[in-house]
């Protein structure tokens, strides 16, 4: 029986590429989404991947969502915490709402989803939790104190949970993408985008499929000795020691 994987924010951008790659790898994939019903249904029709709508920042909604996935598809052995938003502003102009929205969606969601699958994973002595952070969680970014804090928090969360779960056959890892050619990056004004590309030694944006390939590597059954790691996928734009 195929292992079940949940991908949060799994119907668009990097999440879509991850969902499609895991399906190609033989997983039964549940792609979570938060708001765009039309895009989610189009994605499901095109890929044959089941979609599930819930707010990953809401613990009760996650509880119901995970329960529905497990009832319909089976126990969850892989969770990819990919859902994320930005609400950019320099700190002296940032509202409390902008801070809360990003922390809730980008970081609290990681607790919510991991908490709801960890007991089952421990009972079965197997699991893969993969958290999608960001280059800006490693180096920081002007106008993104909220986003950088959330993405850095994911790294600390991962390191702690990796140690807690290691003896139970559960791995917990982080992928920190650089700038990837998605809708979010495409919205950046062209002159700014060209400046960003100029700082990337490989000379281009990343591809969503390259992030998905890294998820595929960490999600594999024979990747059990890799845990607590942060894999940077950024074209050498930022090299963490």
pLDDT at 79: 99
- Predicted confidence (pLDDT) per residue in 125-148, tens digit: 999 999 999 999 999 999 999 999
Residue 1 has what pLDDT? 78
Residue ranges of the domains in the chain? Answer: 4-233
pLDDT value, residue 184: 76
126 included as an active-site residue? no
**∠ Cα 171 174 178 (to 5°):** 155
Architecture field, domain 4-233: 3-Layer(aba) Sandwich (3.40)
Q: Which of 52, 147, 179, 238 is catalytic?
A: 147
**106-109: long-range pairs with CB below 8 Å, 24+:** 106/147, 106/150, 106/151, 106/154, 107/149, 107/150, 107/151, 107/153, 107/154, 107/157, 108/57, 109/8, 109/56, 109/57, 109/62, 109/81, 109/83
Confidence of residue 83 (pLDDT cuts 50, 70, 90): very high
- The proportion of the chain whose per-residue pLDDT surpasses 70, expressed as a percent, equals 100
| pLDDT at residue number 185 | 82
């Amino acid at each position: 029986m195929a292992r079940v994987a949940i991908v949060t924010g799994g119907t668009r951008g990097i999440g879509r590429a991850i969902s499609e790659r895991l399906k190609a790898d033989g997983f039964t994939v549940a792609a979570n989404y938060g708001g765009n019903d039309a895009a989610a249904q189009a994605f499901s029709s095109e890929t044959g991947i089941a979609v599930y709508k819930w707010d990953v920042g809401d613990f009760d909604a996650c509880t119901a969502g995970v329960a529905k996935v497990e009832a319909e598809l089976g126990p969850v052995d892989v969770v990819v915490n990919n859902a994320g938003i930005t609400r950019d502003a320099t700190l002296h102009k940032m509202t409390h709402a902008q801070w809360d929205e990003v922390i809730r969606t980008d970081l609290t969601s990681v607790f919510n989803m991991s908490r709801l699958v960890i007991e089952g994973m421990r009972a079965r002595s197997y699991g893969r939790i993969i958290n999608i952070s960001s280059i800006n969680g490693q180096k920081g970014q002007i106008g993104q104190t909220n986003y950088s804090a959330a993405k850095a928090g994911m790294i600390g969360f991962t390191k702690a949970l990796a140690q807690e779960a290691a003896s139970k056959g559960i791995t917990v890892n982080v992928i920190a993408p650089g700038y990837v050619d998605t809708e979010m990056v495409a919205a950046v004004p062209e002159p700014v985008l060209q400046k960003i590309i100029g700082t990337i030694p490989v000379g281009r944006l990343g591809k969503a499929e390259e992030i998905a390939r890294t998820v595929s590597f960490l999600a594999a059954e024979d990747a059990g000795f890799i845990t607590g790691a942060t894999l940077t996928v950024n074209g050498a734009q930022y090299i963490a020691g």
